[in-house]
Amino acid sequence: MVQKSTGPAAVVLTGSWTFTSLSGTQGRVPVEEALAKKPRGTWLSSQVADYDVKKMSKGSFYITCPDTDVEEALDQAGMAWGAGDVFE
């Protein structure tokens, strides 16, 4: 019998290209304004957080957050290739 934990969980989140006040906005702005200003391909930090919560609710441990230009599977393939360089 498997019991579901109610305590804290540990996850590894690899964020995508995230558009924040550190990368271009001036402080807090409405989501609509941020979406209009962000570069193509980037996600807002709220989008990254929503994706992380969705994956955590499915029991994911290592979460690779895609961006608008690259699918998660392609990011994972690139990481696997890079990790292979470390171990070969």
**pLDDT tens sequence across 19-56:** 876 766 566 778 888 888 888 888 888 888 898 889 88
Tally of domains in the chain: 1
Quick check: is 39 in a domain? Answer: yes
- Mean pLDDT, all residues of the chain: 79
Quick check: is 32 in a domain? Answer: yes
Question: What's the per-residue H, E or C state across 18-47?
Answer: EECHHHCCCCCCCHHHHHHHCCCCCEEHHH
Kind and range of the H or E run holding 64: strand 62-64
**pTM higher than 0.75, yes or no?**
no
- Containing structural domain, residue 60: 10-87
**pLDDT tens sequence across 54-87:** 988 888 888 887 777 877 788 888 888 888 888 8
Quick check: is 71 in a domain? Answer: yes
Question: CA angle at residue 50 from 46 to 53, to 5 degrees?
Answer: 140
